Each structure stands twice: as C-alpha cells, then as structure tokens.
Amino acid sequence: MAALRQPARWRAWEIAAWVAIWATPLVFTQHAALINEIAILALFALSLDLILGYAGIVSLGHAAFFGLGAYGAGLFAKHVMPDPLVGLVVGTVLGAVLGALTSPMIVRGTDLTRLMVTMGVALVLYELANKFDGLTGGADGLQGVVMGPLLGQFEFDLSARVASFYSLTVLFLVFLLIRVVVHSPLGMSVQALRDNRLRLAAMGHSVNARLSVVYTVAAAIAGAAGALLAQTTGFASLDVFDFHRSADVMLALIIGGAGWLWGGLIGAIAFKVMHDLLSAMTPQYWTFWIGLFLVLLMLVGRERLFRPTRWFSKTP
C-alpha cells in the first residue's frame, strides 16, 4: 500500500518549485504580464495533459473549451456582473457543459476520427463566433469588457500584478485538484485505459464513462483558462478558437512532457520564453524555428531528448 501511495507524495523539489513560482511576480515585477500569460497557458496545457497524457486522447481542438470559457466570461462580465470570481465559475461551467456534450463523440472511433471531431467542434464554434457578430463582436473581437475588483478590493492594474497573482492562484488550486484526481482510483483507471483499453474493460470498468468524466474535467479546466485570459486582458477575439491555439498548447505540453503534472507548467514556461526570444529575433518567421524544433524533436524521439542516457540505446 505504501508503494502505491508513493507517487502521490509531495517531494521537496515540488514544494521548492511552487515557492519559486509564487516569488516570480514579486521579483520580475516588470514581466508580470508575461507571467500571467504563462500561467494561463500552463493551466490550459495542464488540462490537455489530463486527456492527452493521462487518458491518451489525441485532440486538435482543445481551443473549443478555451474559447468558450473566454467568450463566456467576457460576455458575462459585460452584460451580467463584473465580478471576476463569478465569471470564472461561469467560464468553467460552460467548458464543462460543452465537454460533457461532446464527450460521447470522442469515446468511439480511431485516432483520426477523434482528431477530426475535436478539430471540427473547435471550427464550428469559430464559425459561430464569427457569424454571431452582434453578440461576440465578430472579427473585431469582444470589446468593452470591464472587470470589477478581485474579491471586492484588488483592482486589475495595467502592470498585471493582480492578474498574475490571480492566474497563479487558480493554476495552483487546479494543480492541487488534478494531483488528487490522477492519484485517485479514477485517475489510475484512466491511465490503465490509456495503456490497455481492452484489459480495463475486461476488469469490469466502464471505459466510456471514465473517458467522459476525464474529458469533462479537462474541458472545465480549459474553460477556466479561457475565462482567465478574457478577464485579465479584458478582451476576447476569434483567435481564442483558432487552430494555432490548439496546436500551441499541444506543443507546449509536448515540450514539457505529457503524462506527468509538471509537463504543462514546464512546457508553458519553455514555450513562452522560446516564443519571446524567437519572435524578438525574427518577428515574422519564428514559426519556422518552432516547426524545425518540432520535426527534430519527433525524429529524435520525445523520450530520448530528455534522457540523454538513452541516446545510444536501441529501444526508444
């Protein structure tokens, strides 16, 4: 039993890492906006990790939930009430509802079918957001989102300090939640399902029900990430549904490594820093280097790159 509990235990470096993360907005005060962006991307990547790394579902349309959360939170703040926390709940619930609705679509079919269906859902939402421009502002984006102060006292400022702490808090809480989920019996069975679906079914577990639950949870978190983006930037545009957003988050997760909790966080930091450096060097053509990096990474093998000891071994 102790051996089973082993992976769930907090290690010293994890606690140290969180202390360091919390300290960053205080140390790099001028980069608070970037830290906020990283925290949001990390949250988004964490949610993708849950379905890609843990449940093994390849999704190219995770932006659907992100975008819905962003527009939901933005519209809620504009038309109903400007309180950020209530808006965050709205975004999360919207993501969860869409996740629950679309989860029957991803439990069947091959990888290709799943890829197409997830991408299709994001594209349909993109088109809808584009066409209902009376509500969403269409191609101009949703403007005039004014957020109220956080908890009634902290105003969102231009230097994004409050925003970065807000996003980091949400990220931390979600991280704790997912930690519990993946080490729970549900999380364990989902990992078993990723490795051998047939065997899990033979053990008497409902594969589809488990996939649906995990997919819904991941969708809710992606919705929360979208809501954070809309709230902290006071803006939502069609870009939140775009294909490149789904690709970016997958890329970030792959850089950090899928299938463990820190993958999303490390990947988000690495991706954003890389993005910033590359686009500072070649503003227009940075996608070339990102592409080259991806191609090389895949040719070398994801596993090997991060474990130099395995560079010369035959088995990947």
Quick check: 113 binds another protein (CB under 8 A)? yes
| Helical pair 161-183 and 185-195, crossing angle rounded to 10 deg | 80
Interatomic CA distance for residues 109 and 103, integer angstroms = 12
Quick check: 284 binds another protein (CB under 8 A)? yes
Under DSSP, the state recorded for 242 is: -
Quick check: 121 binds another protein (CB under 8 A)? yes
Interatomic CA distance for residues 189 and 201, integer angstroms = 10
Quick check: 311 binds another protein (CB under 8 A)? no
Which one of the spans 28-36, 146-154, 249-257, 264-272 is the region binding another protein (CB under 8 A)? 249-257
The tokens describing 266, both together, are 């490390």
The tokens describing 103, both together, are 């989860």
Quick check: 295 binds another protein (CB under 8 A)? yes
18 burial (CB, 10 Å; 0-12 / 13-18 / 19+) is middle
In sequence order, the 6+-apart residues with CB closer than 8 A to the CB of 210 are 186, 189, 190, 193, 200
Which one of the spans 150-158, 214-222, 225-233, 296-304 is the region binding another protein (CB under 8 A)? 296-304
Residue number, 126 or 165, with CB nearest to another protein: 126
**CA 267, 272, 274, 279 torsion: positive or negative?**
positive
- Binders of another protein among 125-144, rule CB under 8 A? 127-128, 130-131
| Interface size with another protein, residues (CB under 8 A) | 44
Q: How far is the CB of 283 from another protein (least distance, A)?
A: 12
Q: Which residues bind another protein (CB under 8 A)?
A: 52, 58, 60, 105, 108-113, 115-117, 119-121, 123-124, 127-128, 130-131, 243-244, 247, 250-251, 254, 284-288, 290-295, 297-299, 301-302
